[in-house]
Amino acid sequence: MNLREVTHTTEIDAPAAEVFGWLRDVGRWPTVFPPTIHAEVLEPGEREETIRLWATANGTPKTWTSRRAIDPEGLTIEFRQERTAHPVGEMVGRWSVEAISPHRARVLLYHGFRPREDVAEQWSVIESAVERNSTAELEALRLAAETAASTPARLFTFVDVIEVDGSARLAFEFLDRGDLWGERLDHVPAVELETYDGGLQRLAMTTRTPDGAEHVTESFRVSFPERRVLYYKQTTLPPLLALHTGVWRVQEVDGRLRVSSEHTVAIEEELLAEVLGASASVADAQGLARANLGANSRLTLGRLADFATRGSTVA
């Protein structure tokens, strides 16, 4: 089968080198590209590297590894998926950044692909995913690069931590078994968990905030039991949030158990006045997000501490 080829493009009001920097640093991709849940560099290098991505394609979470050839002088990155996700049989591509002026760049995103079987359904699934993700990624790249200079504090991160004497295995089990949170957490009245290959999960739950309001949220999660780390990205967001990603970590430090809940949040500034009033500031919205998300995290950490210390009869 021949590869089917498609190219998407956009123009960005930012220097070409800065735009290229966003593409070079895959660690930032979950906060930039909507489809990306988590990203890691498996084999780093200045000119070549292997990365692994966990992302959604047509709303379904998938994971794959890619080999990237990086040309910093030419502002190009070529990639080839080494381990593909069904129904992809082969996927290659290239990011190219061209300077239009000192403060404006053109970005081209090329894909060449074929399915595992030469059937119309598999071609259609891949074409749809490439079209949707490429369009979303280029728009997200434009927003990230253009707003970086004007709103450098768009993202803010905070962490809640507990230290207890308990079982690291049980602590991580508490986090990993999100399907049991409806029984274990008072602020989670209802929950649904789906699991996929590659440690991927979809967690849909109803969450009750300290003021009594309930929100239905959905997150995609990547679980690493061997590391006792769980990454997540919330895909249904309350009006004030433009982004919410997080990490749960379970560590043994100096003979004690240290469990942390880290949140990275971006505020939807255009909705500030509508949600909080005409005089509201970004700092006000950040404070509210910190209070609500932190309160729920601390409730979860408290129950986790009990579970890890005493165990549980819940299967």
pLDDT at res. 108? 98
Domain boundaries, the chain: 4-150, 155-310
Q: DSSP of 246-298, one letter per residue? A: EEEEEEEETTEEEEEEEEEEEE-GGGHHHHH-TT--HHHHHHHHHHHHHHHHH
pLDDT of 312 over the 80 cut: no
Under the banding of pLDDT at 50, 70 and 90, the label for residue 313 is very low
Q: Per residue in 135-155, pLDDT tens? A: 999 999 999 999 876 665 578
CATH says 4-150 is which class?
A: alpha beta
Please report which confidence band the pLDDT of residue 265 belongs to, taking 50, 70 and 90 as the band edges.
very high
Please, are residues 303 and 185 in contact by the beta-carbon 8 Å criterion? Answer: yes
Burial class from Cβ neighbours inside 10 Å (0-12, 13-18, 19+) for residue 79 reads buried
User: What's the confidence (pLDDT) of residue 171?
Assistant: 96
297-306 pLDDT, tens digit each: 999 999 999 9
Average pLDDT over the chain reads: 93
pLDDT band at 216 (very low <50, low <70, confident <90, very high): confident
pLDDT digits (tens, 9 = 90+) for 76-109: 999 999 999 999 999 999 999 999 999 999 999 9
Q: Is the predicted pLDDT of residue 209 greater than 80, yes or no?
A: no
Q: Which amino acid is at 90?
A: E
Is the fold of 4-150 the same as that of 155-310?
Answer: yes
Q: What is the pLDDT of residue 270?
A: 87
What pLDDT sits at residue 251? 96
R_g of the chain computed on alpha carbons: 21
Nearest to 137 by CA among 45, 10, 264: 10
Work out the average pLDDT over 281-310. Answer: 93
For residue 161, the cross-strand partners are: 260
CATH top class, domain 155-310: alpha beta
Q: What is the pLDDT of residue 212?
A: 79
Q: So what's the pLDDT on residue 278?
A: 92
Buried b (16+ CB within 10 A) or exposed e, 166-177: bbeebbbbbbbe
**pLDDT on residue 148:** 78
> Is 19 in a helix, a strand, or coil?
helix
Residues 6+ away with beta carbon under 8 Å from 282: 153, 267, 269, 272
Q: How far is CA 109 from the centre of its chain?
A: 21
Tens of pLDDT along 154-208?
Answer: 789 999 999 999 999 999 999 999 999 999 999 899 999 999 999 999 999 998 8
pLDDT digits (tens, 9 = 90+) for 23-75: 999 999 999 999 999 999 999 999 999 999 999 988 899 999 999 999 999 99
